[in-house]
Structure formats: C-alpha cells, structure tokens
Chains A and B, each alone.
Chain A
Amino acid sequence: KAGVTQTPRYLIKTRGQQVTLSCSPISGHRSVSWYQQTPGQGLQFLFEYFSETQRNKGNFPGRFSGRQFSNSRSEMNVSTLELGDSALYLCASSLETDNSPLHFGNGTRLTVT
C-alpha cells in the first residue's frame, strides 16, 4: 500500500507570494490533517478535512487555507507569504480521527526569503 505522498519536497518562495502544497493520502483514508513545524516548536495543527469538509481548524491566520477533493487528496494554500511561514509542513491521513493513528508524509520544506 502506498504511503502518504506530499509534493513538492522543497520549495523556495519570496515574501508576498503564495504557495500551494499537495497531499495524497493512503488509499481508503478519508481524513487528512496538516501540521506546521518550526524550530523549537512541536507540530502545530493547521486544519483537518474529512470527506471534502473542513472539520477542525487550528489557530492560524486566514492566509492559511486548504481543501480536499473527492478522491481525498488535499491541498494547502498559504497566501501573502511571510518570513515566519518558513517551516516543514506535514500532512497526515487516517481512517478516522478518534483512535486511528496518523500516517504522515515526508513533508514539504518551505523557505520564504
């Protein structure tokens, strides 16, 4: 079974630009969640999608948005990039978000200059 795939692996953008990251979950997983990791911080929850609906949202500004398609693939968009958005962005899929473990992708490393 293929794992969670995130593209691209690395991205360099300039302040003010926007970026779209992609996540393909494990086949059969309908829940996809996104996390941001910056140095010294734990994984910070961005949002979670289930069956194309955003179920939960973390404490991030509206510049961070996402969506999920009918095949469960998800995209995350960050508009008007700031230097502080430089981070590793991980997505994770699961069967449900109750007792099912999260299956993580390898992440996208975003650098904003």
Chain B
Amino acid sequence: ILNVEQSPQSLHVQEGDSTNFTCSFPSSNFYALHWYRWETAKSPEALFVMTLNGDEKKKGRISATLNTKEGYSYLYIKGSQPEDSATYLCASNTGNQFYFGTGTSLTVIP
C-alpha cells in the first residue's frame, strides 16, 4: 500500500489571500501525479495531471509543481475566491492504480 499524504488537513483563508498545500508521495513506482478539486455535492474534477520532474502547470489562478525525486507536489491558489472553497485531492498513479491522499479542505471566507 502506497502512502500519499496531504497537508494541511484543512485551511481557512480570507478572500484575496494566496495559499498553498502539499502532497507527498513515495518517489519509487511513480508514474503520474493528479490533482482534483471536490466541491460539496459534486463529483471530483480533474485539475492537473503531472508526470515529469520539475513540471509546472497552471489553470487560471491555480498552479501546481512536481518534484518526483523527493516525492512532493505543491498546489498554489493565488487570490483565493469563495468559489475556490472545496477539498483538493492529490493522487499518485503507479501505472497500476491510483493512491489518493485524504485531501486538504479549503474554506475561503468572504
């Protein structure tokens, strides 16, 4: 069983603040790292799929980086908005299956 850890577990920020979370995963058997956003009463939605060491991806105010050698990924949100409130999941894909972290729950206070 592969251990994927996310921190912090939860986070409250003021609207307009920038924030970041961490996903750590075993660097062995690495194939790809996925980030998902899961809003209440909806299904998880893919944000990024990252495969290469040093990868950086961006979608609007959200960006992510990947370090496969040390086994971590950061997700950044610039200028948080209330609609960013959600649980952010990361998952390590070993090529055989996905191992998900328990997520970071973000609440953006207007």
Given contacts A40-B102, A98-B32, 18 further A-B contacts (CB under 8 A): A3-B43, A41-B102, A42-B99, A42-B100, A42-B101, A42-B102, A43-B89, A45-B100, A56-B97, A90-B43, A97-B98, A98-B31, A98-B95, A102-B34, A102-B46, A102-B91, A104-B43, A106-B43
Q: How many residues of A contact B (CB 8 A)?
A: 27
| A59-113 with Cβ < 8 A to chain B | 59, 90, 97-107
User: Given A42-B89, A98-B32, A99-B51, do A58 and B43 touch, yes or no (CB 8 Å)?
Assistant: no
Chain B residues within 8 Å of A, Cβ to Cβ: 1, 4, 31-32, 34, 36, 42-46, 49, 51, 89, 91, 93, 95-103
In angstroms, Cα B102 to Cα A40, docked, is 7
Shortest CB–CB separation between residue B101 and chain A, in angstroms?
5
Chain A residues within 8 Å of B, Cβ to Cβ: 3-4, 33, 35, 40-45, 48, 55-56, 58-59, 90, 97-107
Number of A-B contacts (CB under 8 A): 61
> Among the listed A4, A33, A40, which residue makes an inter-chain contact with B98, where contact means beta carbons less than 8 Å apart?
A33
In angstroms, Cα B44 to Cα A105, docked, is 8
In angstroms, Cα B46 to Cα A100, docked, is 10
Shortest CB–CB separation between residue A105 and chain B, in angstroms?
6
In angstroms, Cα B102 to Cα A44, docked, is 10
* Chain A residues positioned under 8 Å from B49 (CB to CB): 99-101
In angstroms, Cα B51 to Cα A41, docked, is 25
User: Nearest 3 A-B pairs (CB), nearest first?
Assistant: A101-B46, A43-B100, A42-B100
Can you name 9 A-B residue pairings with CB atoms under 8 Å? A3-B43, A45-B97, A55-B96, A56-B96, A58-B97, A97-B95, A99-B32, A102-B91, A102-B98
